[in-house]
Amino acid sequence: MAGQVRAKGDARRTRSDFMKMEQDRGISVSASAMSFDFNRFRFNLVDTPGHSDFSEDTYRTLTAVDSAIMVIDGAKGVESQTQKLFEVCRLRDLPILTFCNKMDRESRDNFEIIDEIQENLAIDVTPASWPIGTGRDFIGCYDLINSRLEIMDRADRNKISESIKISNLNDPTLAKHISSTLLDRLLEELELVDALLPKLNHQALLEGTQTPIWFGSAINSFGVKELMQGIADYGPQPQIQKATPREISPAENKVSGFVFKVQANMDPKHRDRVAFVRVASGHFKRGMKLTHVRTKKSITISNPVLFLASDRELADEAWAGDIIGIPNHGQLRIGDTLTEGEALRVTELPSFAPELLKTCRAGDPLKAKHLEKALMQFAEEGAAKVFKPDIGSGFIVGVVGPLQFEVLASRIEIEYSLPVRFESSQFTSARWVSGPNESVEKFIQNNKIHIAHDNDGDLVFLTRLQWDIDRIERDFPELRLGTVKEMMA
């Protein structure tokens, strides 16, 4: 569902995976945005990393969306990454729509998949469609919402499925398209669905307590159209955005928006840098002057773009709910708010303390400045935390999971032609320090070897053991050692 899947030439790569590492490994390691029209609706699809090592990027990305699509593998069911991402969605009370993929391959029992979703994720599941056969016997789905038979064409993956309207389950038309064995099984299963599973409740969906599930095969372009129509019919409209000193309503006339992601070198040839901005209110037009709230400066948005992964087109206008890209040279950071003058600051874009720390060194010592530039770029993207110790040279890089170190090393080598190595650090965790100035000064004097600053210049306490944290909490009770820093500019 993450964009367009192509079977030949690009070897089944997902269209939204534009980094070389993503294409080589077949996983998403960075969020990407895609805007497209479907029927009367404009969709802004954000593909988030599925790997748990990139959960922070996922969490920030979810601040820019109004609902989520959960993709389940018909053979594997609910995987550990799915469970973690679902927990993030639940923290934000996002409505969730589910797509069970790969039904044309050998898959688990449909009821077993639904039971697993309900038990592991504690959410009610209601089928919006029901598969007819599985694996080699899979021929299509019965659309429970519209009483239609959707037949898949295995010969042509790009052909739109044949849609056959039927009056009810006793309609003789069914027997013309479905073998007697599969039809008997379908009718038996639908009887159980009617008796055991809840009906679609739009309010429960919007509250995040119920998820409709569609079945299909994305590689065969089957079931995706019905899912998209389901999002159009049942998904939420642009929602109110939390901000200070007041919330932002999408119905407001004045334009406002916030940066939820920064991506550099999407096109390495041009060393470009693009800020992904969610429009929170108003009607944006190309060439508008907006106030950059953090710096209080006015900036002209002359070349905003709409995305299809790494492909772009100039955006002449955008409305609340749209995601646009603003090319810039480092002025815009994650958490920045843009308005037509009012000093609003969008909240709840968190930065989490890293779980793994390593020192980073350039393969060529003469290129230390290049390494510093690369690390600062990735820190501003939110791809890693970069700490500069007050004592000693070099940088300490913090991440959530070990795969992030591989991604960073790969990107630095590809984008900066600079081989690097990550080495073990004496420190194991980091905490942001806040409190009264006098206490902070005394704390710094007593713990110089543990003191560092992040790329924003904020004070950080590097720890070796839990004992270090316990000691500070005992000796400096007025200080706060934070594991989360809000990226509110």
What CA–CA distance (Å, rounded) separates 40 from 325?
A: 23
User: Of 234, 266, 283, at which residue does a domain stop?
Assistant: 234
Torsion of CA 317, 318, 324, 328, to 10 degrees: 50
Query: If you write DSSP's letter for every residue of 46-107 in order, what string do you get?
Result: EEPP-SGGGHHHHHHHHTT-S-EEEEEETTTBS-HHHHHHHHHHHHTT--EEEEEE-TTS--
207 and 78 assigned to the same domain: yes
Q: Residue 474: which CATH number?
A: 3.30.70.3280
Task: Report d(CA 3, CA 388) in Å as an integer.
Answer: 39
From the CA atom positions of the chain, what is the Rg in Å? 25
Structural domains counted in the chain? 3
Structure tokens at 235: 């998904």
Give the integer Cα–Cα distance in Å for 207 and 201: 10
- Alpha-carbon distance of 430 to 448, in angstroms, equals 14
Q: Considering 308, 323, 346, which residue would you say is the last residue of a domain? A: 346
**Angle between helix 110-121 and 180-196 (nearest 10):** 30
pTM, two decimals, is 0.83
443 burial type by CB count under 10 A (0-12 exposed, 13-18 middle, 19+ buried): buried
C-alpha 75: how far from chain center: 23
| Sign of the four-CA dihedral 25, 53, 33, 42 | positive
Tell how far CA 53 is from the center of its chain: 13
Are the CB atoms for 464 and 437 separated by under 8 Å? no
Whole-number pLDDT of residue 3: 35
For residues 383 and 351, what is the distance between their CA atoms, to the nearest angstrom? 11
Give the tens place of pLDDT for each residue, 225-242.
999 999 999 999 999 999
For 197, the domain range is 67-234
Give the tens place of pLDDT for each residue, 402-460.
999 999 999 999 888 899 999 999 999 999 999 999 999 999 999 999 999 999 899 99
How far apart (Å, rounded) are the C-alpha atoms in residues 314 and 307? 9
268 assigned to some structural domain: yes
Residue 8 lies in a domain: no
Question: Of 346, 381, 406, which closes a domain?
Answer: 346
pLDDT of 452 reads: 96
CA-wise closest residue to 384 among 116, 113, 53: 53
Tens digit of pLDDT at every position of the chain (489 positions): 333 333 334 434 445 445 555 555 555 667 788 888 888 899 999 888 767 777 788 888 888 899 999 999 999 998 877 787 787 788 778 899 999 999 999 999 999 999 999 998 899 999 999 999 989 899 999 999 988 899 987 766 566 667 788 878 888 888 888 999 999 999 999 999 999 999 999 999 999 999 999 999 998 889 999 999 999 999 999 999 999 999 999 999 999 999 999 988 766 666 678 999 999 999 999 999 999 999 999 999 999 998 875 678 899 999 999 999 999 888 899 999 999 999 999 987 888 899 899 999 998 888 888 999 999 989 988 889 999 999 987 899 999 889 999 999 999 998 888 999 999 999 999 999 999 999 999 999 999 999 999 998 999 999 999 999 999 999 999 999 999 887 755
Specify the pLDDT at position 174.
87
Tell me: do 183 and 284 sit in the same domain: no
SS3 at position 297: strand
